[in-house]
Amino acid sequence: MRVTLILPARNDSWVVGAASRSTYRRLLTAGVALHEFRGGLLHAKTLTVDGQVTLLGSTNLDLRSFDLNFENNLLLQDAATTADVRARQHQYINQSVPVTLDEVLHWPWYRRIWHNMMATVGPLL
C-alpha cells in the first residue's frame, strides 16, 4: 500500500502548522510520502483509494472536527469521480515540494522542540 499526504506549506494558523510538522518524522519513517503544497493555502480534504473510492468533505482529522463541529464527509464509489479527484491531487503534487526524512532529521533541535510544544496544544485547536 502506498500513502501520499499533501499538506500546506503555509497554514492559516502557525500553531496548527507547527503541530502538523511534529508528526512528519513518524509519518516518513512509516513510509508515507509527504509533500508540502506551495501554491497557496491548501484546504482540500480528499482521499482516493484504489482508483474506485473517494472521500471528500470538511472534516479535519482531529477531535474538534469530529466531536465539536459535527463536520461531514462524503464517501463515493465511482471510478470516474475518483479519476477526476486523483487528477486534482496530482495538480497539488505538481505545486508541492517533497519532504524527506533526511530533511526532517536535520531540522535544528529548537525547531523540533517548537513543533512538539505546539503539538501539545493540538487537542485544543
Beta-sheet strand order (sheet of 4-8)? 4-8, 33-37, 96-99
pTM, 2 dp? 0.86
* Predicted local confidence at residue 125, as pLDDT: 62
Looking up cell 510538522, which residue turns up? 21
Q: What is the mean pLDDT of each run of 10 residues along the chain (125 residues)?
A: 92 86 96 95 92 91 73 93 97 97 97 91 70
Q: Domains of the chain: which residue ranges?
A: 1-39+95-120, 47-91
Please give the sequence-ordered ranges of beta strands (E in DSSP) within 9-91, or none if there are none. Answer: 33-37, 46-49, 53-57, 73-77
